[in-house]
Amino acid sequence: MAGKRKPNGYWNDPKNMDAYFDERIETLRGIPKASEAMLMIEALGQGKYHPKVRTYNDYLKHWGLKVHCDIGKWMDLRNIDKYFDDFFEKHGRIPKSDEMPGGALKAIASERCPGVKTYNGYLKHRGFEASNEKRWGDKEARINALKKMVEESGKKVCDIIALDFRRHGLGTLLRGYYHNSPYKALKEAGLIGGIEPFEMKGGVPDGYWDDSHNINRYFDWQVETLRRIPRSREMASVFGAFIEGKYPGVKTYNDYLRHWGFQVNHDMEKWKSKDSRVAAIRQMAEKSGKDAKELRKEDFKKDGLAGLLNTYYHSSPYGALKEAGLADFEPWERIGGKVPKRYWDDAKNIDLCFDQLVEKWRRVPKAKEMPGAALDALREGKYHPDVRTYNNYLKHWGFKISHESEIWNDPKNIDAAFDNLVETLRRIPLAREMPGGALTVMREGNYHGARTFNDYLKHWGFKPQHEMKDMEGLMQRLIE
């Protein structure tokens, strides 16, 4: 989700922000930092989620989650002073601005300390000399520092990124004099040689693609390097310039290719005809030798139909197969595939799935036999605000509910299951190795406020799984 361009207005819908946030949690296996959830930040700032939820921390607080870099802590000047003093005592020097917490710097900028708006002002307030960052006004000092950084990094010049500057205490120099562009900084230091900006791992300078000549140079370089016409994904860096009209008469990569007389890659003109689309999809299915249920995005891509799938079927193989008359099955029956986006948002589809499973097995399906995404939709209230669990769903239709989950309402039974797994596995179990009913009870907040397995581990003094590095040591702690 994170890497795809969304249609206009997509982030105006709070449900889309929640779905994106949930996807990031699943991918990162933890609450994402603001920098890891950037796609929703702008919409939050515009009040699209809620008029009172305008920052990422507001969003986290809205859902009862611990905020990252909570500025509230730093609004108490004593906390800033304590951090500063602890750093000075530990390192024997005052911290550079890059070494101060972001929340502390924001609090200083908000004049929490009367008359002090900058870190240099804070230093003077504490009786220290202002940071020596002002020495960067001397070009020779800048160049010497840059050369020393490259030498100490042990990297090739083209592999230097902004993080390397920060690691060597040159973050302020990069921001203040080179607009966060490693290329500009290293060029002034005479270290670039014949390296083009687009060869830099740290990216091109801001505004570089606004010049059509730079786009042409990049295209020519790609042709020379690849010894062929680059594919669209290999020119993705310049798409923003095309869309913003920086290259006269060109809005897409296909426009660019036509402009220079090249054959267009996967020209979409032919797909405007339904007959052409259906014929191509059926031919692809026949060539693959697979059952239609087994066809996935990769099969479309291999046959050169990725553009067709993305443009006409919203990246849904099921939608494409359905139009081609090959989908004689329901979306959830696809092998290894997913249903179309928002499919389970429609209550009728949940009912249809349930009814077909009842007819197939001649019994009421267990929760684990229902599609996981359908159960997620229930939990999110997509079926009905009062029907948020599978047992609620069964009660809604007058079926006898499963009592399997009731044993997990007693925290002692969850603890017993955890202890048994530790004894059997001789290590801390993974979340997926815990009984599903126990995890469900946690998600519903019925275990001392622990809503995730990581919360459960923290409750008992263990590190969250993504922080576990020494499993044997952790096991020893448990035994003791």
What are the structural domain ranges in the chain? 10-68, 72-130, 135-199, 208-265, 269-333, 343-399, 406-479
Which SS3 state, helix, strand or coil, does residue 395 take? helix
Rounded distance, CA 295 to CA 282, Å?
11
Return the pLDDT at 364. 82
Return the pLDDT at 4. 52
Q: For the chain, what is the mean pLDDT?
A: 79
Q: What is the pLDDT of residues 364-410, one digit of tens each?
A: 888 777 887 788 888 888 888 888 888 888 888 887 665 555 667 77
Return the pLDDT at 188. 92
Return the pLDDT at 477. 45
Residue 449 has pLDDT above 80, yes or no: no
Q: Report whether 317 contacts 305 (CB < 8 A).
A: no
Burial of residue 68 (CB within 10 Å: 0-12, 13-18, 19+) is middle
Rounded distance, CA 199 to CA 177, Å?
21
Q: How does DSSP classify residue 227?
A: T
Contacts 24+ apart (CB under 8 A), 2-6: 2/27, 2/39, 6/39
Q: 474: pLDDT confidence band, cut at 50, 70 and 90? A: very low
Interacting residues of 16 by C-beta distance below 8 A, sequence separation 6+: 6, 10
Interacting residues of 245 by C-beta distance below 8 A, sequence separation 6+: 251
Return the pLDDT at 335. 55
Instruction: Please report which residue ranges of 397-470 form alpha helices under DSSP H.
Output: 411-425, 436-443, 453-459
Residue 61 has pLDDT above 70, yes or no: yes
CA angle 312, 315, 318 (to 5 degrees): 90
Return the pLDDT at 469. 43
Q: 471: pLDDT confidence band, cut at 50, 70 and 90? A: very low
Query: How much is the average pLDDT of 119-136?
Result: 70
Query: How much is the average pLDDT of 239-266?
Result: 80
Return the pLDDT at 263. 63
Residue 186 has pLDDT above 90, yes or no: yes
Q: Give the residue with greater pLDDT, 439 vs 187.
A: 187
Which SS3 state, helix, strand or coil, does residue 449 take? coil
**pTM > 0.75:** no
Query: How much is the average pLDDT of 145-151?
Result: 91
User: In the structure encoding, which two tokens stand for residue 426, read together?
Assistant: 């001789």
Query: How much is the average pLDDT of 320-346?
Result: 74
